[in-house]
Amino acid sequence: MLKRTKQFAIDCAYLTLSLVNNDINKAYRNQLIRSSSSTAANYRASRRAKSKPDFINKFKIVEEELDESLFFLEMLAEFNKEKKNNIIPIYKEGEELLKIVVASIKKSRTKE
C-alpha cells in the first residue's frame, strides 16, 4: 500500500503535466496534486500511528483525500475528453485503494 499510494500520487502528477494549460485545468490540477499527495503522505503517517484511534483517524484522512482525488479526476476527465483513456486507469487504481482503506477502517473498528 505504501508503494501504491505513492505511485497513485506520482501518476496523478504526471497526468497533470500532460494537460493543456487553461484556467479550469489549473484549478483542478492543483487540487488533484494536493489530494493525491496527501493520500500518500497520510497513509505513510498512519504507519506510525500511536494508537488504534490515531490509526483510524489517519486512515479517515486517507479515505477523504482519495475520495477528493477521484472527484478531481472526474472533473478533469469531463473537461479533457481527449485524455479520458489516460485518466481511467488512474481513477480505477484510486477506487481500488479507496475500497482497501474503507475495509481497513471497518476492520479496525470492529476490533475495538
Give the pLDDT confidence of 1-34 residue by residue, as tens digits: 999 999 999 999 999 999 999 999 999 999 999 9
Q: Which domains does the chain have, with CATH numbers?
A: 2-110 (1.20.1440.60)
Cell of 86: 489516460
Query: What is the SS3 assignment for 18?
Result: coil
Could you report the per-residue pLDDT of 76-111, keeping only the tens digit for each? 999 999 999 999 999 999 999 999 999 998 888 786
Phi, psi of 51, rounded to the nearest 5 degrees: -160, 170
**Helix, strand and coil in the chain, % to nearest 5:** 90, 0, 10
Distance CA 73, CA 60 (A): 20
Indicate the residue type of 106.
Answer: K
CA dist., res. 3 & res. 18, Å (int): 23
